[in-house]
Amino acid sequence: MPDNQIYPLSADQVLLKGSILRNTEWCYGVACYTGHQTKVMKNSLKARVKKSKIELQTNTYIILIVAIQLTICALSALCNMIYTAKVKSTDSYIFYMFTEADYQVFFVSFFEWFILLQNFVSISLLVTLEMVKLFQAYFIENDWMLLDMEKDLAAKVNSSNLNEELGMISYIFSDKTGTLTQNIMEF
């Protein structure tokens, strides 16, 4: 084999990742198609976080409840500041100028109201939903009807995030022969 001979590479000479050579004493190897500029790396996307519809709705409701809670706290603190300033003032209320002490009353009152109304956001709701998902995962893994007898494999739950979405079909397609194809809902 001359050293200066050129050998072209084709799909027959390329070993894929994870391949194992057997019955071979030696071989030459060249790393090709590597790095961040390859087509595979450029087309790879970050893994999306999968969340169920119930989880997305719960997060939206919690943000809405926190916004309502902050609004109520601000209004209550403002009313408290005005009332405190009016009680202290002997002047006409219309022309009263708020002082720095009045704004301190506002901030202290705001956080007092925030602590008083902290039960608006029910953290126990999230804990309860997670516990329900945990029990559902337990029942899925221990369901004997989901057991594959030939391979002796049981269902395995890797993530409990999508329990609510199991079995939901978003689209059903049919070709000319009437063959049905189902498209599972994507997140």
Residues 36-47 pLDDT 10s? 777 777 777 776
Residues 110 and 132 both lie in one domain = no
Kindly state the average pLDDT of the residues 175-180: 63
Confidence check: pLDDT of 130 > 60: yes
Contacts 24+ apart (CB under 8 A), 70-77: 70/114, 72/113, 72/117, 73/110, 73/113, 73/114, 73/117, 74/110, 76/109, 76/110, 76/113, 77/106, 77/107, 77/109, 77/110, 77/112, 77/113
Kindly state the average pLDDT of the residues 106-128: 84
Residues 142 and 104 both lie in one domain = no
The answer to the question of residue 4 being in a domain is no
Q: How many domains does the chain have?
A: 2
Kindly state the average pLDDT of the residues 112-123: 83
pLDDT for position 133: 86
Residues 147 and 107 both lie in one domain = no
**Minimum mean pLDDT among 43-57, 84-98, 105-119: which range?**
84-98
Residues 62 and 119 both lie in one domain = yes
The answer to the question of residue 110 being in a domain is yes
Residues 110 and 150 both lie in one domain = no
Q: Which of 92, 123, 154 is the C-terminal boundary of a domain?
A: 123
pLDDT for position 23: 87
Residues with a known catalytic role: 175
Confidence of residue 187 (pLDDT cuts 50, 70, 90): very low
Q: Which of 123, 146, 161 is the C-terminal boundary of a domain?
A: 123
Q: Calculate the alpha carbon distances from 130 to 90, 96, 143 in Å.
A: 56, 52, 20
Residues 66 and 85 both lie in one domain = yes
Confidence of residue 91 (pLDDT cuts 50, 70, 90): low
Residues 88 and 130 both lie in one domain = no
Confidence check: pLDDT of 30 > 70: yes
pLDDT for position 1: 52
Q: Is the pTM of this model over 0.85?
A: no
pLDDT for position 74: 94
- For residue 178, give its domain range: 124-184
Residues 92 and 143 both lie in one domain = no
Residue whose entry in the numeric block shows the structure tokens 């956080």:
111
* Rg of the chain in Å (alpha carbons): 32
The answer to the question of residue 165 being in a domain is yes
Spatial distance between the Cα atoms of 98 and 77, rounded to a whole number of angstroms: 14
Residues 115 and 135 both lie in one domain = no
The answer to the question of residue 178 being in a domain is yes
